Amino acid sequence: MCGIVGYIGTEDAKEILLRGLEKLEYRGYDSAGIAVINDGGVSLFKEKGRIATLRDSVDENEQGTAGIGHTRWATHGAPSQVNAHPHQSNNDRYTIVHNGVIENYSQLRKEHLQNVELTSDTDTEIIVQLVEHFAKEGKSTEAAFRKTLSLLKGSYATALLDNEDPDTIYVGKNKSPLLVGLADGVNVVASDAMAMLQVTNEFVELMDEEVVIVKRDKVTIKTLDGLEVSRDSYIAELDASDIEKGTYPHYMLKEIDEQPYVIRNIITKYKDDNDTIKLDEDIREAVLDADRIYVIAAGTSYHAGLVGKQLIEKIANKPVETHIASEFLYNMPLLSEKPLFIFISQSGETADSRGVLVNIKELGHKSLTITNVPGSTLSREADYTLHTYAGPEIAVASTKAYTAQMAVLAILAVDTAHAGGVEMEFDPLQELAIVANAMETLTDQKESLEQVAREYLSVTRNCFFIGRAMDYHVCLEGALKLKEISYIQAEGFAGGELKHGTIALIEEGTPVIGLATQEHVNLSIRGNMKEVVSRGAYPCLISMEGFEDEGDAIVIPRVHEYLTPLVSVLPLQLISYYAALHRGCDVDKPRNLAKSVTVE
């Protein structure tokens, strides 16, 4: 989704801003822009489409050493050059970039800007016009900025330039993430540390309703009331090489291949010296203490949560409900007496999940976030965090984060079972090591999976995934993966549910991918595959060693039945990848999508 960068130093700002925006491309955007400031004023460049187009439009002779930049994912107003950020106030004095959504923008316009003509359709423009409005009333820029932010309802991360002061960037945030990076005689602003690793790895995190006055040699944090706040900086544990593609053609393929290493990394991180699970005592107690767990997530993380429910209920004997965050927000079920909320989120920034977190905190309930980004909003605001240690996931289509989430959920389930005195023979660390090896076997079979994608998905209009039990949850994920990157209409169904309507969609040659990796439903799902074949479907069955059958398209190595989703999803990820490639789609940056969905 939208991204922000800012730079104030001694070097060529335009180049640093453009490079920063390129690092944020993976988050999804439809237009981009930069504003560079020097003694002569502000130069503005913005374009619809890719950063490469913006780069071509930037004046090579632009020499400013400070500026701000933005990638926009349209919410208010269509993707266009006019609606792209930065936006300027009518007298051109102020220039702004903004992430988030201003909910009361029409009301603010009516109250304060009745005679101001707006240039764009965005909510953002209201912010910059308000700053000009309050500055015209005689306020200093800082005071006008603080006053404006105090009136905003909704979410914002924002950076502002003042034509009359080329040595300052003003930033502010509420609900949307924003960091200020520190270096010697140089300071930067970024909505994601990755964008500015090119300059520094030392960052200061901002809290909601704070503003920062960023100069070359000084950074001052204040509340909206103008009170100074002091905060220590931290070193971002990110290696710039983690976010490079290396020799891979796409991040998605690299991240699929990384899964065995991620699982081994998780084993190391969650193992103590006695080879048993190492988990924070407070987390253990919070889970034990709960009478019911509510898992809240979106998209792929929701699919991991569906598997997590099975794992926690089967292994730890504790009731779990898994909910789609955006639905839970408006349709909360009756809660148990002592609920624990588990938020699953790769980015830790998903607005729908955060909305639920804010609500349940108000109700006084405890929360745990399982995330790949420990400093993220959901991690900071929940009572506890479990890290998935998957390393930065850049491709919009989530792969390694999903398997990492399920691995951590399995560990949590077993730890809860042990702590609660539930007897079992399942050793998750040992079984996860077997999973990592099985994943490697599958990532070595790219050629045959590419062949499956070519044969089944090169030209089809639609595709169905069917499975039962945990295989069904993996089918939902397989279908999501395929539709988001190849734009084939794909749906995941419970095998037994087909006859209740969906089977009407099966025509001669319709691809149906079946999963049969759970022994107790092996025969019944094979029966469901026969039903679709009798109606003309083109079947592709993925089964598991030990109960495979002649004619199965792919046989995955045997792993413990609780952990099959971690392995069975790999062929689906690879098939989706190759299908998108064969159909000429932009695998890492699918249309209309954003990596981190920071608006509701």
Q: Interface with ligand M6R by CB under 6 A: which residues? A: 298-301, 345-347, 350, 353, 396-398, 480, 484, 596-597
Specify the DSSP element, H or E, that contains 228. Answer: strand 228-229
Minimum CB–partner distance for residue 63 and ligand M6R (Å): 39
Which CB atom, from 345 or from 522, has the smaller least distance to ligand M6R?
A: 345
Minimum CB–partner distance for residue 275 and ligand M6R (Å): 30
Q: Please say whether the dihedral angle defined by the alpha carbons of residues 515, 521, 525 and 526, taken in this order, is positive or negative.
A: positive
3-class secondary structure per residue, 546-588: CCCCCCCCEEECCCCHHHHHHHHHHHHHHHHHHHHHHCCCCCC
| Spatial contact of 224 and 46, defined as CB atoms under 8 Å apart | no
| Spatial contact of 516 and 543, defined as CB atoms under 8 Å apart | yes
The C-alpha angle with vertex 227 and arms to 226 and 229, in degrees rounded to 5, equals 125
Minimum CB–partner distance for residue 248 and ligand M6R (Å): 18
Which CB atom, from 253 or from 541, has the smaller least distance to ligand M6R?
A: 253
Catalytic residue among 2, 463, 475, 540: 2
C-alpha distances in Å from residue 304, one per residue of 180, 276, 311, 435, 518: 33, 24, 10, 16, 17
- Residue at shortest CB range from ligand M6R: 299
Strands (E), 233-319: 234-235, 292-297
Which CB atom, from 350 or from 510, has the smaller least distance to ligand M6R?
A: 350
Which CB atom, from 47 or from 484, has the smaller least distance to ligand M6R?
A: 484
- φ, ψ for residue 185 (rounded to 5)? 70, 10
Catalytic residue among 14, 309, 318, 595: 595
Tally the C-alpha atoms within 13 A of residue 81's C-alpha that lie toward its C-beta.
7
Which CB atom, from 353 or from 518, has the smaller least distance to ligand M6R?
A: 353
Of the candidates 546, 499, 505, the one whose C-alpha atom is nearest the C-alpha of residue 524 is 499
Which CB atom, from 253 or from 429, has the smaller least distance to ligand M6R?
A: 253
DSSP notation for 120-134: SS-SHHHHHHHHHHH
| SS3 label, residue 515 | strand
Using CA atoms, how far apart are residues 152 and 129, in angstroms rounded to an integer? 13
Which CB atom, from 17 or from 480, has the smaller least distance to ligand M6R?
A: 480
DSSP notation for 421-458: T------HHHHHHHHHHHHHHHHTTHHHHHHHHHHHHS
Cα dihedral 498/302/177/106 (nearest 10): 50
Q: Clarify whether 589 is annotated catalytic.
A: no
Which CB atom, from 202 or from 600, has the smaller least distance to ligand M6R?
A: 600
Tally the C-alpha atoms within 13 A of residue 499's C-alpha that lie toward its C-beta.
8
Q: Clarify whether 2 is annotated catalytic.
A: yes
| Residues annotated as catalytic (active site), given as ranges | 2, 595
